[in-house]
Amino acid sequence: MSKTFIGDVCGHCPGKGADGKAAYPRMGSAFKDGDRISIKIDTIPLPSTGWSGWVNIFPRTAGKPPVVAEDDVPF
């Protein structure tokens, strides 16, 4: 079987987003292969960002580009 893209893997940073809500910086991608889910990690948030150690998988709907906040642009 081949792997199927599920969505973005994002870190949970409580209280670091706009309006004091949780921020979810993108960390990588999630894939499904049969009954297995694989996660490809591209980056890990620094502890100073308030990362709680938890990650979330946000499914990406076909045809919609990923949502990236301006402060999430990697340079």
Provide the pLDDT for residue 69: 52
Stated pTM of the model: 0.70
Task: Find the mean pLDDT for residues 1-15.
Answer: 87
The residue type of 43 is T
> What tens digit of pLDDT does each residue of 25-70 get?
899 999 999 999 999 999 998 878 788 889 999 987 666 655 555 5
pLDDT greater than 90 at residue 21: no
Instruction: Tell which wins on pLDDT, 18 or 3.
Output: 3
List, in sequence order, every beta strand (DSSP E) within the chain: 4-11, 26-33, 36-41, 55-59
The helix (H) or strand (E) run that includes residue 44 is none
* Tokens 């990588």, residue located: 28
